[in-house]
Amino acid sequence: MNNTIETVTYIQDRLKVIVMNKPGFITKSALLSFPIGGLNQSYLKEGKKVPFEPGAAHFLEHKLFEDEGVELTDKFSKLGASANAFTSHTQTVYYYKTIDQFEENLKVLMNLAFYPNFTEEGIEKERGIILQEMASSHDKPFYKQYTKLMEVLYKNHPFAHDIIGDETSVSNISFETLKTIHNTFYQPEYATLILGGDDAFTEALKMLEAFPFKEATAFKKAPVENVLLKKAPPKVQEMTGDVHATYVLTGFRLDLTFETIKEEYTFFIALEMALEMLFGSSSDWVEEKLKQDIITESFFHDVHLDPSVAFVMMMSQTRKPEAFLKEMDKMTQAFDESLFREIDFERIKKAAIGDYILGNDSLNHLVVNRAYTVDDDITRDDIFNIQKGMHFEDVILAFKTFQNQSITSSVVLKPKTLE
């Protein structure tokens, strides 16, 4: 079903390289991932934890595209490639796609990541741009609603901070900070390079074997602070914003530990399947709540999983926020096994097969998707096999755990009263 062949190799016994051979596609892609994101706010120096400002990972991502005042995206463009980058909660990713001159572009990517050349002057300029990026987010009421929810669900935890930081933290990020976190996290031992396309990438691998990696530094990455409060967050908060309807966003935090990564993924895949059965577009619940005008077509649910952070989110535009909140409350109360039917379970499994096949048709999707799980060493095929092999009882158990263990909070966003 998947005609992509994946092989893993280590360059100079340091850099992990995943080759995804995808026949028939003329585009080739390279993606370099580093394990630093919004959750990382400290490094280890001689065994001691040294904190740095929230938003530093994202700031560094911006700066790596500078080469002594010149934008490196120009170099990629001149070589016929399209390049970009992003920072998530757990990683920073740099990638390009191209048809020709793959190795030349790869050289640019490797130098960008391992031999940065940004300047102090460039940092000041970038600070202004990032503050504008921040202003743009702050002008969006849904962003504010989401942030407010995370601030209470993950109080004291790095996840409560925006990936790009805040005005104070971004204003305090220095040239030295960026240099230090680069020395810490941008080491080949921590990185993963993914090469995708209709190629064995023999020339690229040869080039990488000769790449002059720097010696390992004395700095080490620190584990993410897991300082979740045991105290329950407020059940409901209200806020107003420049919106024309009421929207309720509910988060269900899950603080669970697992023996192995596979166990963790199996649980959350089972939970996703349970939620899809109960609250997906083909569920009785959605049909009923639409008829009762408690939700609208905007209703969605989502499962978010990162190291030390796992939650379920549900949101809807609603004319009956109290009724919606009651429904969210019911989620974590009495378990009703009759809601789970094998026929729905089989349907969800078939849907997963279709999604998997559809995903095979996009090289970008395959490569970026692979990047999300590099640190856990779980492939897309592993996830698909877990879905295929899932048992009905596992799904019910996952939902029971969700019900028993969730810590819940909601934010109700209402329109500002017109003056």
Partner 1 sequence: MDVLHVKATHFQTTQINLRFFTSLKQPDNTVFKLMLAMMNQKNQMYPSRKAWKSRLKSIYNMRIGASSSRLKDLLISDFKMTLIDPSLVSEPHAYFYEAMDQLLNHPLFDEESLTFEKGALHDEFLTKKSSKSYRAAKILTDSLFKDHPYLIRTAGDEDVIDSVTLELIKKAYQRLKEAPVVMSVVGPLDEKEIKALIDHLKLSPKETFKKPGLIKQDIPLLKLAPVKNDMKQLLMYEVYQTHIYPDEALHLAYDIFSYMLGGDSESILFKTIRETHSMAYSVGATSLDDFGVLLIQGAIDPQKKEVYKEELKAIMNRLKNGDFDESLLNQAKLSRIEEIKRNTDNKSALASRAMHQFLEGWPFDLEDLIEPFYHITKEDIIKVALKIEDKGSFEFGAVHE
Q: Which residues bind partner 1 (CB under 8 A)?
A: 1, 3, 23-27, 71, 73-74, 77-78, 80-83, 97-99, 125-130, 132-133, 135-136, 138-142, 241-245, 280-284, 286-287, 290, 293, 296-298, 317, 344, 346-348, 350-355, 357-358, 360-363
How many angstroms separate the Cα of 329 from the Cα of each of 231, 232, 321, 323, 407? 18, 14, 12, 10, 11
Tell which residue, 49, 92, 367, has the closest CA to residue 224.
49
Q: Are 85 and 93 in contact (CB under 8 A)?
A: yes
Instruction: Supply the minimum distance, in Å, between the C-beta of residue 87 and partner 1.
Output: 14
Smaller CB distance to partner 1: residue 127 or 179?
Answer: 127
What tokens appear for 19 in the block? 């080759």
CB of residue 382 vs partner 1: minimum separation in angstroms?
A: 19
Residue 147 or 183: which CB sits closer to partner 1?
Answer: 147
Closest CB to partner 1 among residues 47, 354: 354
Cβ nearer to partner 1, comparing 12 with 136:
136
User: Closest separation between CB of residue 293 and partner 1, Å?
Assistant: 8
Distance in Å, CB of 335 to partner 1, minimum: 22
Tell me the closest approach of the beta carbon of residue 361 to partner 1, in angstroms: 5
Q: How far is the CB of 338 from partner 1 (least distance, A)?
A: 16
Q: Supply the minimum distance, in Å, between the C-beta of residue 267 and partner 1.
A: 22
Where helices occur in 79-174 by DSSP H, the ranges are: 102-114, 120-138, 141-153, 167-172
363 vs 93: CA distance, rounded Å: 16
**Chain-centroid distance, C-alpha 280:** 22
Which residues neighbour 351 within 8 Å (Cβ) at sequence distance 6 or greater? Answer: 276
Tokens of 318: 């609603």
Write the CB contacts of 6 (distance below 8 Å, at least 6 apart in sequence). 18, 19, 20, 21, 370, 379, 381
Helices 342-359 and 363-372: angle between axes, nearest 10 degrees: 110
Residue 12 Cβ, how far from partner 1 at the closest point, in Å?
A: 31
Q: Kindly tell me the burial class for residue 363, based on how many C-beta atoms sit within 10 Å of its own C-beta (0-12, 13-18, 19 or more).
A: buried
CA 112, chain centre distance (Å): 23
- Pick between residue 162 and residue 264 the one whose CB is nearest to partner 1: 162
Bridge partners for 66 per DSSP: 71
Min dist. Cβ of residue 289 to partner 1 (A) = 12
For partner 1, the closer CB: 227 or 353: 353
25 or 392: CB nearest partner 1: 25
Q: Is the dihedral of CA 178, 184, 189, 191 positive or negative?
A: negative
